[in-house]
Amino acid sequence: MTVIIDHTRQLTLTHVMSAANGSRVELARDTRQMLTERREQIVRHVREQEIPAYGFNRGFGHNVDLSVPDEHLCDLQRNLILSHAVGVGEPMDRTVVRMTMLLRANSLARGFSGVRPELVQGLLDLLNAGITPVVPELGSVGASGDLAPLSHIAMALMGEGEVFFGQERMPAKAALEKTNLRPLRFEMKEGLALNNGVQFMNALGLAACAKLKDLLRTAAVNSALVAQVMLAPDTYFRPDFHALRPHAGARRVADWIWRLMKNSPIRAAHRDFKTDGQVQDPYNIRCAAQVLGTCHDLIATAEKALLTEANSATDNPILLPDAHGKFTDIVSGGHFHGMPVAVQIYNLMQALSIMANLAHMRSVRFVDPVRNKGLGRDLKWPDMAGEDQALSSGMMMLEYASASLTNDIWGQCMPSHLFNISTNSGQEDHVSMGTGLAVRLLKTLPRTAHVLAIELAYIRQAIAVRKRLGTIPTEATPPDWVNEELNTLKDRMNGHGNGMVFNAEVSREHPLSDHEKQFSPASEALLAALDEHGLFPVVRTDRYLADDVARLASFVESGRVPDVVSPLVPLPWEDME
């Protein structure tokens, strides 16, 4: 698809991710004309009125009181970018940088920044040529804007700094020459317009939103699988039940799980209460829709807020129309402040932490023979000989890995946006500190995918064990004659040993046919896909598992789980009416 930057339209998450992944981006003709007209208006106004204007002819930050002569106005903009490009750390992922470039171009194209269309087009030219500035991941306090990251991007427009082009890292000037692009010379206000705003933080948040949507759908698929293999009912997810407490996210997630469990033979096999006899399951199943639904609400709210930011004018000063409709009213303010974005970044961090915790608690249950409904100790293979049982750890240690990852995720959740450090000699005395939080968010996503993958590995093994077994536990009451015979036997056997007491009990199990061991169609489709890709083969004897889990985690992180089940059970994101 081609993404169009148009001041009369709104970018969506689909547009942003499409451009980030290489789609062509174009500037609408009417937007180009509008930018030209408004640039001419403000330049004429500043020069004719000879007014002091921040960003145009005054210094920056606490140097606002210093006047700049006309002959040095371009130097002012160039020096701003060069001096502010002080990023630290490893280069940020190219996809995020491309998103940042698109978002900055879209913000400038709103028409309230007073820049030439050539500036917007310059960013789009870099995107379309596949030139991605090298942007260190740290160095922004999230107000006044992501100054350092955006300055690294602006440097590439000037032919300064380094960029990625193809598979190489090279000087920006060389990449521009290879693609027949010319460096830009920034004019009044244009350097400031490029680095005022939190598009870097916002890009990180939107990238996380896209990933978290897939991870939440994966968590819902896992929930449906866990409910089936742990012999739980589907009634926890009934639509009429959730209509009584109609939180949008809970209703949506319950709807996903409800439909994913439809037509499940193993669910039908214990639908009669007398078969299973358990009234309620642990919260990790029974409350899955309420817990994951909250994550849905957090992600949906964040996406809405971050897209509002993506389609806003965020630099300083902003140009508003005067009494004659000319965009010459120069208004200083704080639209660059990152707090509206930072709080949403933290909400996304909360969502992934909640998802990871729920998945981990279910993994814990799988290895507990007292609580896993007949699946045995550590999900060891049922055919394993008795002497081999003592030699085997089965799936024991994956729970430890899950615990470690979950704890690490919690450690990344420090609310940095609540810990302000004043900057710029007190002029910028409250900053959002949201960008560092956003960087941690992006880095934590793979860990969350790994926790979900460990849970899926447990699910896969548990399903294989369940299908291998011929029965499921039951709480059905045995006939009276059985208890009578047992009591008679115990009376006859006791009293014939040195302090030894004979005891006996009936193992109550309900037989399942091969058909009744099948899971829902969507579940079986996922199991078949895992088999097809050779992902986490059934563990029959102890083996090295780390690489198997890593491959499964890559499958999960790439969004493949919902991709597999969606043709059978669509998982729409939007709130239910």
Residues classed as catalytic: 54, 84, 196, 283, 286, 336, 428
Answer yes or no: are the C-beta atoms of 165 and 140 closer than 8 Å: no
Residues 6+ apart with CB under 8 A from 105: 5, 25, 27, 120, 123, 124, 127
Answer yes or no: are the C-beta atoms of 97 and 150 closer than 8 Å: no
Cα 501-507-510 angle, rounded to 5 deg:
175
User: How far is 200 from 119, CA to CA, in rounded Å?
Assistant: 18
Report which DSSP code applies to 93: P
Q: How far is CA 215 from CA 19, 57, 314, 354, in A?
A: 22, 49, 31, 12
Nearest-10 crossing angle of helices 546-557, 199-229: 120
- Which run of H or of E encompasses 165? strand 162-165
DSSP secondary structure, 315-381, as one string: SSSEEE--TTS-S-EEE---TT--HHHHHHHHHHHHHHHHHHHHHHHHHHHHT-TTTSSS--GGG--
Tokens encoding 109: 């194209």
User: How far is 168 from 179, CA to CA, in rounded Å?
Assistant: 14
Q: How far is CA 307 from CA 219, 310, 510, in A?
A: 25, 5, 53
User: How far is 259 from 257, CA to CA, in rounded Å?
Assistant: 5
- Which run of H or of E encompasses 473? strand 471-473
Short-list 337, 316, 318, 293, CA closest to 202: 337
User: How far is 143 from 201, CA to CA, in rounded Å?
Assistant: 10
Short-list 559, 513, 461, CA closest to 266: 513
User: How far is 371 from 365, CA to CA, in rounded Å?
Assistant: 6
How many helices (H) does the chain have, and how many strands (E)? 23, 11
Answer yes or no: are the C-beta atoms of 556 and 456 closer than 8 Å: yes
Short-list 253, 232, 340, CA closest to 297: 253
Question: From the CB of residue 515, how many other CB atoms can be counted at a distance below 10 Å?
Answer: 10
Answer yes or no: are the C-beta atoms of 535 and 555 closer than 8 Å: yes
Alpha-helical (H) ranges within 469-497 are 480-493
Q: How far is CA 483 from CA 473, 475, 478, 479, 495, in A?
A: 19, 15, 8, 7, 20
CA 220 distance to own-chain centroid:
15
